[in-house]
Structure 1
Amino acid sequence: MTIAQPLPSYLVQRYHGWKATAYQENKTWYRRLASEGQRPRAMVISCCDSRVHVTSIFGADQGEFFIHRNIANLVPPYEPDGDHHGTSAAVEYAVTVLKVAHLIVLGHSQCGGVQGCIDMCKGKAPELEAKESFVGRWMDILRPKFDSVADIEDATQQARSFEHQAVLASLDNLMTFPFVADAVADGSLTLHGLWTDIGEGGLEYYDPDAGRFIAV
């Protein structure tokens, strides 16, 4: 027995619209992707947030990005015996099999996961503290970074700074993976930290020399 149901009619209509237009106009390209396999130039680790449209931001076509999404665009540290294998598996595949040249961590404004971590750190989210909270245990990855923003009084600025910290924490954790560190060392892989403002359409990148995020 299964509880799966047919697609809602509006999604079926959208699919048929895509098949008749975008697919039909690029059929050769889709068939080439299918027969030759994927060769993405970059991996993007972004948040699950539906407002973050990775391919639209960069005008990317199918086959350009290997995309992994999770709550608050986090990468856990390298822990072969740990519990967070979904993201780690995606990173391993991108770096060791697909040989991507760039690995981008993309954070964003008004991130619910980051705000949840702030609330948890302030003792305002007992539901996230519960052992059975998947979101809470995932946000434990970011929790150690809260001290860096704890003294910021303005809530909006605190959230934005912590969103930046989520990107930096992920970049730091990426370098704990031996195959990532080796690829960075030999120059075959570069890491990038980005943050996008949903409402304004802004994009910032982390500049290690300046020690801060700078508008693109």
Structure 2
Amino acid sequence: MSKFPERLLAGYQTFMTGRYTAERARYRQLAETGQEPHTLVIACCDSRAAPETIFDCGPGELFVVRNVANLMPPYEPDGNYHSTSAALEFAVQALKIRNILVMGHGRCGGIAASLDPAAKPLSPGDFIGQWISLLKPAAEKIQESSLMTGSERQTAMERISIRNSISNLRTFPCVKILEDKGKLEIHGAWFDISSGELWVMDKDSGDFVRPEVEVA
């Protein structure tokens, strides 16, 4: 029998003697009354960009779905398996969340793959390649630009993909109806792993701007 990772056991011990002890009442309340998160976050699987850590949120505040390159596919009720769409459906219809945030980040491996026409499948199934193909039309246009460096293309694609996912969100009837009624707000943000900077998408222009926050 394989041994459970020691790092995880050590982390769990720290959690139980630290955060859980401090928030024991909160956890018990959540267990008894259920969760009421205020925001659904569609984020990347990347281990360096955890939304709960970046936004310093406690238990029960965020409903987070993470996938490669923080993508939201379009509405496709075709009977296939759609994990991200299922999470969206549950968050909007069952949890009645009030905000949806698509959060991308710098140095995203999935975005880099979308910009690499020579990328090889990691397995015969090529699950990543198929998933990233959601960005193919935009990626091809970025690749054609000889005016940008490689890093500029990467950052541009990371931000364009956020706008693309927001556009796909609005193809879901439950999202579009609630947004039009003012009962749901959609946001975009981009996190720079290297500097810790957060850039928020302006809803009108689509530009990414730095919010005014005090940093020690």
TM over 0.5: yes
* Moved >3 Å (runs of 4+): none
Helix, strand or coil at the partner of 2:134: coil
Aligned to 2:73: 76
Aligned to 1:175: 170
Aligned to 1:126: 120
**1:208 deviation in Å?**
3.5
Q: How does 1:1-216 map onto structure 2 within 5 Å?
A: 5-81=2-78, 83=80, 85-119=82-116, 123-127=117-121, 132-150=125-143, 151=145, 152-216=147-211
**1:6 deviation in Å?**
4.0
**1:165 deviation in Å?**
1.1
Deviations 1:49-76 (A, max 9, x none): 0000211211111100000000000000
**1:142 deviation in Å?**
1.1
Return the alpha-carbon distance in structure 2 between the equivalents of residues 41 and 67 of structure 1: 11
Amino acid of the residue matched to residue 129 of structure 2? Answer: G
Return the alpha-carbon distance in structure 2 between the equivalents of residues 211 and 15 of structure 1: 41
Instruction: Report the CA distance shift for 1:84/1:163 in structure 2 as closer, same or farther (over 3 A).
Output: farther
Helix, strand or coil at the partner of 1:110: coil
**1:83 deviation in Å?**
4.3
Gaps in structure 1 of 5+ consecutive residues: none
Query: TM-score, length-normalised on structure 1?
Result: 0.91
Please say if residues 76 and 84 of structure 1, whose CA atoms lie closer than 8 Å, have aligned partners that are also in contact: no
Helix, strand or coil at the partner of 1:149: helix
Please say if residues 131 and 137 of structure 1, whose CA atoms lie closer than 8 Å, have aligned partners that are also in contact: no
Deviations 1:21-76 (A, max 9, x none): 22122211110011010000000000000000211211111100000000000000
Please say if residues 104 and 191 of structure 2, whose CA atoms lie closer than 8 Å, have aligned partners that are also in contact: yes
Deviates more, 1:174-183 or 1:24-33: 24-33
Q: CA RMSD in A?
A: 1.6
Return the alpha-carbon distance in structure 1 between the equivalents of residues 180 and 157 of structure 2: 28
Amino acid of the residue matched to residue 120 of structure 2? Answer: P
**1:204 deviation in Å?**
0.9
Please say if residues 187 and 203 of structure 2, whose CA atoms lie closer than 8 Å, have aligned partners that are also in contact: no
Instruction: Report the CA distance shift for 1:146/1:15 in structure 2 as closer, same or farther (over 3 A).
Output: same
Query: TM-score, length-normalised on structure 2?
Result: 0.91
